[in-house]
C-alpha cells in the first residue's frame, strides 16, 4: 500500500468510504420503514472501488456510474441528500422523482452521466464523451464501471472496440464483484481474469485488489494519466465481492457461506483503518472526529429528504422534449479553426502498411512445408548466424517465434456451481478439478451425466 498521497488525501479516502457505507446503512433502515419507493442496491464491501477509482480523477473529468457506485458520486461532490431523495422519489431529488436510486446525472457542473439499467450501453456513450472532450481540446478523461455480468453484453464489446480504434481517453473499470445477480463469474465467462479481454482490443489492462483502496487508487491514477497523455484507452479489473444480495429483496442464499466469510475478513474499510493506524496516519481521536462529522452531516441530509414533498402529479407530463430549457453550448478549449482543413491536414484515403498481413500466412505455409527443424533449410544470411527457423518479415519487424500458436483456453478455477443445484450442495463449497466436476456429485443425481 505504498503511495504518494498526503495525510489529507488519506483521510479523504476514509471519509468517502465511511460516508458511502453509513449512507447506505441509513437507507437500509429507511427501506425497512417503507420509505424507499423501489429497490435498494447495496455496495457493501465495494466502497474502495467506487472511491479509489473516482478519487484518481480531476474535477473536469467525466464519470458514468453503475447503480452501486454511490461512493463515486460522493467523491464527485454529490451531496448525500441527492441520494436519499432519489431513493425516496422526492420532488427535491435531481430527477424530481422521474427516476430513482442513483439514476441521475449532472452535465454542467460535476460531469456525471446517469446510469442505465441495461448495463454496457454507457461504454459507447463514455467513449463518445472522451472523443468529444479530445475534439474540443478539453484534456479530459472519461471513466465508467461495468460488472462481471455486464462484461458479457454486446455493448461492452462495441464500445470498447470503438474506444480502442479511436485511442480514446477512456478508462473502463471492470468491477468484478463475483456475482451477476445469482450467477457466479465462473458461469458468466470461461476465463479466470476479465482483464484478459483487454488483449483482444489491443489496450493496456491492470488487475487489482478491489478491497485495497490505495491499490485501486494507484492503478486508476496510472490508467487515468496514461489516457490523459494520449495512450488510452485502459481497462482495470478490480476483484472484490458483493456482500449483500442483488438488492434488498434478495437474501443471496446462493452464495457459499465460506465465500462471505472469506471476504468479510477482507472488508475494505477495516483493512484501510488498520493501514492508517499502522502507518500512524491517524489516531483514534481523528477517526472519532471523522465518524462524528459523517453522522452529523447525514442527520441533516436525511432530515431534508424525509421532509421533502413528493412531486406534483402534473410533472409527469413535462420535459419529454428540450424546448430550449437546457442550453447546448460546447466548451472549446482549442481554436475552432484547428478541426477543419486547412487547419488540419487530411489524406482522404487509406494507408495500409502490410496489405492484410499476408506475410503471416506465408510464414505458416513455409513452416508446414519446411524440412525438419535441424536441417539448415533457410539461410538467413549474415555472419554465420545460428538460426534454424525461418525469419519472417511481418509489419516490418523480424519475428523469431512461429507466427501462430495454438491457443489453449485456460481451465477456469473453482468455485464451480453445477447446473440446477442450490447452495446447499457440498460441491459448491469445496474446490474441485473443473475437468472432473461430477466427481463429488450425489450418485442419485443423474443430471449432467452422460
Partner 1 sequence: MAPITMIEGIRQAMFEEMDRDPAVVAIGEDIGVYGGAFKATEGLIAKFGRERVIETPISETAIVGAACGMGFLGLRPVAEMQFIDFIACCFNQVTNFVAKSHYLWGAPVPMVIRGPSGGGVHGGPFHSANPEMYFVHTPGLKVIYPSTPSDAKGLLKSAIRDNNPVLFFEHKFLYRRIKEEVPEGDHLVPIGKAVVRREGDDLTIISYAAMAHTAMEAAEQLAKEGIEAEVIDLRTLLPLDRETILTSVKKTNKLLIVHEDTRTGGIAGEIAAIVCEGAFEDLDGPITRVTALDTPVPYAPTLEERFLPNTEKVVAAARELSKY
Tell how strand 204-209 and strand 183-184 pair up.
Answer: unpaired
Which of 326/386 has CB closer to partner 1?
Answer: 326
Beta bridge partners of 363: none
- Cα–Cα dist 271/276, whole Å: 9
268 Cβ contact partners less than 8 Å away, ≥ 6 residues apart: 17, 45, 46, 47, 48, 210, 211, 212, 213, 240
The span from the CA of 79 to the CA of 76, in Å, is 9
Which positions from 125 to 164 touch partner 1 by CB under 8 A, shown as an x/- string? xxxxxxxxx-xx-x---x-----------xx--xx-xx--
Q: What angle do CA 1, 413, 420 make, to 5 degrees?
A: 125
The nearer residue to partner 1, 46 or 95, going by C-beta atoms, is: 95
The reply to whether 202 sits near partner 1 by the rule CB under 8 A is no
Q: Which region, judged by CB under 8 A, interacts with partner 1, from 77-85, 101-109, 260-268, 289-297?
A: 101-109
**The Cα angle at residue 28 between residues 26 and 33, in degrees rounded to 5:** 95
Which range of residues in 17-25, 45-53, 114-122, 242-250 is near partner 1 by CB under 8 A?
114-122
| Residue pointed to by grid coordinates 487530411 | 346
Q: Cα(358)–Cα(274) distance, rounded to whole angstroms?
A: 57
Among 77, 190, 312, 319, binds partner 1 (CB under 8 A): 319
Shorter beta-carbon distance to partner 1: residue 122 or 171: 122
Chosen residue from 60, 77, 91, 118 binding partner 1 by CB under 8 A: 118
**Does residue number 99 form part of the binding site for partner 1 (CB under 8 A)?**
yes
41 to 80, contacts with partner 1 by CB under 8 A?
A: none
> How many residues make contact with partner 1 (CB under 8 A)?
60
Picking from 26, 37, 147, 148, the residue whose alpha carbon sits closest to that of residue 86 is 37
Stretch of 203-211, 284-292, 316-324, 377-385 lying at the interface with partner 1 (CB under 8 A) = 316-324
* Identified binder of partner 1 from the candidate list 11, 74, 123, 189, rule CB under 8 A: 123
CA dist., res. 329 & res. 135, Å (int)? 14
For 110-149, give the DSSP string.
Answer: T-BPPP-SSTTTHHHHHHHHHHHHHHTT----EEEEEETT
Q: Which long-range contacts (CB under 8 A, 24 or more apart) does 318-326 make?
A: 319/98
Query: For residues 321 and 419, which CB has a smaller minimum distance to partner 1 in the complex?
Result: 321
Which one among 28, 37, 116, 364 touches partner 1, defined by CB under 8 A?
116
**With binding defined as CB under 8 A, does residue 341 bind partner 1?**
yes
Query: Is residue 322 within the footprint of partner 1 (CB under 8 A)?
Result: yes
Q: How far is the CB of 165 from partner 1 (least distance, A)?
A: 6
What is the C-alpha to C-alpha distance for residues 69 and 176, in angstroms, rounded to an integer?
Answer: 13
Site for partner 1 (CB under 8 A): which residue of 4, 349, 384, 409?
A: 349
| Contact flag: residue 435 with partner 1 (CB under 8 A) | no
- State in angstroms the smallest separation of the CB of 190 from partner 1: 24
For residue 133, the minimal CB distance to partner 1 (Å) is 6
Least CB distance from residue 233 to partner 1, whole Å? 13
* Residue indicated by cell numbers 437500509: 28
Task: Give the integer Cα–Cα distance in Å for 119 and 173.
Answer: 13
Is 107 or 292 the residue whose CB approaches partner 1 more closely? 107
399 binds partner 1 (CB under 8 A): no
114 interacts with partner 1 by CB under 8 A: yes
3-state secondary structure of 75: helix
Per DSSP, what are the bridge partners of residue 236? 173, 206
* Pick 14 or 62: Cβ nearer partner 1: 62
Q: Which is nearer to partner 1, 155 or 363 (CB)?
A: 155
Angle (CA) 202 139 80, round 5°: 100
106/250 with CB nearer partner 1: 106
Residue numbers at the binding site for partner 1 (CB under 8 A): 94-95, 98-99, 103-105, 107, 113-114, 116-118, 121-133, 135-136, 138, 142, 154-155, 158-159, 161-162, 165-166, 319-326, 328-331, 336, 339-341, 344-346, 348-350
Amino acid at each position: 500500500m505504498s503511495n504518494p498521497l498526503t495525510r489529507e488525501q488519506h483521510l479523504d479516502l476514509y471519509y468517502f468510504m465511511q460516508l458511502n457505507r453509513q449512507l447506505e446503512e441509513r437507507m437500509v433502515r429507511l427501506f425497512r420503514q417503507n420509505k424507499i419507493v423501489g429497490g435498494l442496491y447495496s455496495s457493501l464491501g465495494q466502497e474502495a472501488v467506487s472511491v479509489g477509482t473516482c478519487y484518481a480523477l480531476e474535477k473536469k473529468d467525466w464519470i458514468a456510474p453503475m447503480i452501486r457506485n454511490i461512493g463515486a458520486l460522493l467523491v464527485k461532490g454529490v451531496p448525500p441528500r441527492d441520494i436519499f431523495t432519489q431513493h425516496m422519489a422526492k420532488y427535491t431529488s435531481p430527477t424530481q422523482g422521474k427516476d430513482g436510486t442513483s439514476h441521475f446525472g449532472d452535465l454542467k457542473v460535476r460531469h456525471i452521466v446517469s446510469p442505465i439499467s441495461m448495463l454496457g450501453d454507457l461504454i459507447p456513450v463514455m467513449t463518445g464523451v472522451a472523443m468529444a472532450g479530445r475534439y474540443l481540446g478539453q484534456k479530459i478523461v472519461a471513466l465508467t464501471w461495468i460488472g462481471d455480468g455486464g462484461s458479457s453484453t454486446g455493448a461492452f464489446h462495441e464500445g470498447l472496440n470503438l474506444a480502442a480504434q479511436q485511442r480514446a481517453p477512456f478508462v473502463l473499470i471492470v468491477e468484478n464483484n463475483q456475482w451477476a445477480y445469482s450467477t457466479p463469474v465462473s458461469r458468466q465467462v470461461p476465463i479466470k481474469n476479465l482483464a484478459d479481454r483487454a488483449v483482444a482490443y489491443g489496450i493496456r489492462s491492470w488487475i487489482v485488489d478491489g478491497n485495497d483502496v490505495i491499490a485501486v487508487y494507484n492503478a486508476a491514477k496510472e490508467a487515468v494519466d496514461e489516457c490523459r497523455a494520449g495512450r488510452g484507452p485502459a481497462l482495470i479489473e478490480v476483484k472484490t465481492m458483493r456482500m449483500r444480495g442483488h438488492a434488498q429483496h434478495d437474501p443471496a442464499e446462493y452464495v457459499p457461506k465460506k465465500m462471505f466469510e472469506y471476504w468479510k475478513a477482507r472488508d475494505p474499510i477495516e483493512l484501510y483503518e488498520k493501514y492508517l493506524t499502522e502507518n500512524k496516519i491517524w489516531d483514534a481521536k481523528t477517526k472519532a472526529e471523522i465518524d462524528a462529522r459523517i453522522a452529523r452531516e447525514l442527520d441533516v441530509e436525511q432530515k431534508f429528504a424525509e421532509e421533502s414533498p413528493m412531486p406534483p402529479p402534473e410533472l409527469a407530463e413535462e420535459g419529454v422534449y428540450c424546448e430550449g430549457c437546457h442550453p447546448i453550448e460546447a466548451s472549446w478549449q482549442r481554436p475552432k479553426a484547428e478541426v477543419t482543413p486547412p487547419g488540419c491536414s487530411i489524406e482522404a484515403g487509406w494507408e495500409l502498411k502490410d496489405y492484410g498481413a499476408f506475410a503471416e500466412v506465408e510464414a505458416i505455409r513455409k513452416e508446414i512445408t519446411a524440412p525438419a527443424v535441424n536441417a539448415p533449410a533457410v539461410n538467413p544470411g549474415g555472419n554465420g548466424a545460428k538460426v534454424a527457423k525461418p525469419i519472417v518479415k511481418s509489419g516490418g519487424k523480424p519475428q523469431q517465434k512461429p507466427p501462430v500458436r495454438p491457443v489453449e483456453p485456460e481451465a477456469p478455477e473453482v468455485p464451480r456451481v453445477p447446473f440446477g443445484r442450490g447452495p446447499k450442495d457440498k460441491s459448491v463449497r469445496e474446490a474441485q478439478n473443473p475437468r472432473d466436476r461430477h466427481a463429488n456429485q450425489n450418485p442419485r443425481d443423474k443430471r449432467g451425466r452422460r
